[in-house]
Amino acid sequence: MYGTAPILCVDIPNLKHLDKYKVSDRVHGDHGWISFNKTVLTENTVTHNKPDIVVTDKRKNTITLVEIGITSKERLTQVEIEKKHKYEPLTKQMGNAKLNEATKFRIVPYVMTWDGLVTKYHNGYKTELGITDRMEAQIQRVCLQITHEIVMRELGLDPLTEQPGGPERKRRDLGIFGGTLPELPDPRQPAAAVAPAVLCAI
């Protein structure tokens, strides 16, 4: 399974200390590179042009776009399908990113619910990325941790002590629960906090 992992294919060191890992927007290895949350420039305008993770593997002559989603149980299957097809228009415009004319593009969704549930197709995507059960357990831990922080702060509690927080706590509308949510380490969305964990795993 390790042999299928894109990050190992491009010979980028596997980092063990996930909690301390700081993600760079582009990391190079001997056989390729990985970019994180970077806009892909194309000749024609494409609506969705900023994949969460792009893995370029020179040896396999592939470019893999990984799209991460954190959602509710009710929308899990729908979001996974949307993520699977979201960047198809982009890959058709990425001719300048090809290593050569034979370069193949892959789009791999990595989607779970706020409490770590996945679809029956998730295991296939996980295997395609070379993510082991142990790695995924760590990713699910990060997802649960961020969800816990959101819920605790929405209730006005400190996530660490679960005690009432001070009135000075800043709040920000994230549009996740349909109301006003407190400021998080990354205010964009839970998926943004989980993305570094997935990047470190693959």
Could you report the per-residue pLDDT of 78-104, keeping only the tens digit for each? 999 999 999 999 998 887 777 788 889
In the predicted model, is pLDDT for residue 117 greater than 70? yes
Q: What amino acid is encoded at 81 in this protein?
A: I
Helices 190-201, 133-154: crossing angle, 10 deg rounding: 160
Per residue in 7-24, pLDDT (tens digit) is: 434 444 444 444 444 455
Q: Supply 81's token pair.
A: 């399908």
Backbone dihedral angles phi then psi of residue 171, each to the nearest 5 degrees: -130, 150
In the predicted model, is pLDDT for residue 168 greater than 70? no
Dist CA 124 CA 111 (whole Å) = 12
- Residue-range domain boundaries for the chain: 2-133+190-201
Q: What amino acid is encoded at 4 in this protein?
A: T
Q: How far is CA 128 from CA 1, 47, 170, in A?
A: 9, 26, 40
Lowest mean pLDDT among 57-71, 97-111, 147-161, 179-193: 179-193
In the predicted model, is pLDDT for residue 123 greater than 90? yes
In the predicted model, is pLDDT for residue 182 greater than 60? no
Bridge partners (DSSP) listed for residue 106: 64
pLDDT band at 195 (very low <50, low <70, confident <90, very high): low
Comparing CA positions, the residue from 54, 55, 111 lying closest to residue 78 is: 111
Check if the beta carbon of residue 25 is closer than 8 Å to that of residue 196.
no
In the predicted model, is pLDDT for residue 64 greater than 50? yes
pLDDT band at 192 (very low <50, low <70, confident <90, very high): low
Q: What is the pTM of this model?
A: 0.68
Backbone dihedral angles phi then psi of residue 99, each to the nearest 5 degrees: -75, -35
Residue with tokens 């024609």: 44
DSSP assignments along 144-157, one per residue: HHHHHHHHHHHTTB
| Distant-in-sequence, close-in-space partners of 85: CB < 8 Å, separation ≥ 6 | 107
Backbone dihedral angles phi then psi of residue 148, each to the nearest 5 degrees: -60, -40
